[in-house]
Structure 1
Amino acid sequence: MFEKLKISLIEAPIIKKGDYNYFVHPITDGVPLVDPDVLKEAAEGIKKFGNLNVDKIVCVEAMGIHIATALSIITGIPFVVIRKRQYGLEGEVAVHQITGYSHGELYINGLKKGDKIILVDDVVSTGGTMIAVLKAMEKMGIEIVDVFAIVEKGEGKYIVEGETGFEVKSLVKVNVVDGKVQIEGSRDEN
């Protein structure tokens, strides 16, 4: 299961951003080319292993958008994008996030108290974005039913779980060793 995703991750190039080993992959970066079969495999994995008893799928701009879109198409559940751009809409909530390689503001629109959601993202590595978004949504009174990242790298999953109390599910766990992506496990092996 997830063979195309695994192969594409193993073949992903690695670049350094300071001390951070960053793998460049179509699901996590949109380059060099997004294979629809890999994207479909990822969306079907979330559908199979995620709790989709929700009103909305929520993702964070930019690399969660294609995942949420694919998941929305196969489930019929609408999705909301947490944006990096402020719109000034009524009820908009600003969230400050810090990752292993950047920081900035995110803006939540289209969610209200009582909404039941699944948060989907491309990768959890440092946990900075997920922690900020989960805490903000919880403060807004949103019912977070499930949290899902396609790829788990490093200790980010455990950091998010420790800081928020929410379990973070993933399809594939990877690490970068000697400049290459190594698959350390996948949901189909659990």
Structure 2
Amino acid sequence: MVNPSEFIKQHIRTVPDWPQAGVQFRDITTLLQDPKIFRVLIDIFLARYADAKLDLVAGMDARGFILGSVVAYELNIGFVPIRKKGKLPFTTVSESYELEYGSATVELHTDACKAGDRVLLIDDLIATGGTMMAGKKLLERLGATVVEGAVIVDLPELGGSKLIQESGLSLFKVCDFAGH
């Protein structure tokens, strides 16, 4: 029997020198194109969170939307998008952070969650951890409890997963890749 994490890892495409020279980009779109692989991926998350007593799933822009909305639907709970600055039409709170290649800002509607909500924060990948930490801060600013962060891929050498865990947030990773 194949280990589900290894199965997923084997189907992630590596794109060399993108978005800049020296970077090995881990492309998860190959997981989404094949219905069997996509189902295995979603089932990994569902098995983990089936009994977690969550109120919401929050997905990070943009690939976290794909995973998060499907997981929320299957768990029969709401989904909250955390978007790049300027993309949400209602009143927002924002958080800026550093990326591997610069800086960015994400936003969340002020009514996206309420105090006491138990939220799963999901994205496709952890590199430096800035994106997930910004999402965590936004949700907590609105009074939610971020129960766990979840990703498909961890790039441990870039230090993001360590940063997230040091912040007190538990992190679930489907697989990891050495190097970046």
Report the TM-score when normalising by structure 1.
0.78
Unaligned runs of 5+ in 1: 178-190
CA distance in 2, matches of 1:160, 1:46: 19
CA distance in 2, matches of 1:134, 1:20: 30
Query: Are 1:55 and 1:115, in contact at CA under 8 Å, matched by a contact in 2?
Result: yes
Query: Are 1:15 and 1:22, in contact at CA under 8 Å, matched by a contact in 2?
Result: yes
One-letter amino acid matched to 1:129? T
- Corresponding position of 1:113: 115
Name the SS of the counterpart of 2:149 in structure 1.
Answer: strand
One-letter amino acid matched to 1:168? L
1:123-143 per-residue CA deviation (whole Å, 9 max, x = no partner) reads 111101111221222222111
Structure-to-structure mapping, 1:45-64, within 5 angstroms: 45-50=44-49, 52-64=52-64
One-letter amino acid matched to 1:89? F
- Corresponding position of 1:89: 90
CA distance in 1, matches of 2:32, 2:137: 33
Deviation at 1:17, TM superposition (A): 4.0
Over the residues paired in the alignment, what is the CA RMSD in angstroms?
2.4
- Corresponding position of 1:139: 141
- Corresponding position of 1:42: 41
One-letter amino acid matched to 1:73? Y
Query: Are 1:24 and 1:31, in contact at CA under 8 Å, matched by a contact in 2?
Result: no
1:4-58 per-residue CA deviation (whole Å, 9 max, x = no partner) reads 412112x523224457623241x2xx36963232222222111212463111100
- Corresponding position of 1:184: none
Query: Are 2:120 and 2:148, in contact at CA under 8 Å, matched by a contact in 1?
Result: yes
**Residue 158 of structure 2 is aligned to residue 159 of structure 1:** no
Deviation at 1:67, TM superposition (A): 0.5
Query: Are 1:59 and 1:119, in contact at CA under 8 Å, matched by a contact in 2?
Result: yes
- Corresponding position of 1:130: 132
**Residue 173 of structure 2 is aligned to residue 170 of structure 1:** yes
- Corresponding position of 1:181: none
CA distance in 2, matches of 1:169, 1:118: 10
Report the TM-score when normalising by structure 2.
0.82
CA distance in 2, matches of 1:20, 1:118: 32
Task: Check 1:55–1:126 CA distance in 2 against 1; reply closer, same or farther (3 A cut).
Answer: same
Deviation at 1:88, TM superposition (A): 5.0
Query: Are 1:56 and 1:78, in contact at CA under 8 Å, matched by a contact in 2?
Result: yes
**Residue 102 of structure 2 is aligned to residue 98 of structure 1:** no
Name the SS of the counterpart of 1:149 in structure 2.
Answer: strand
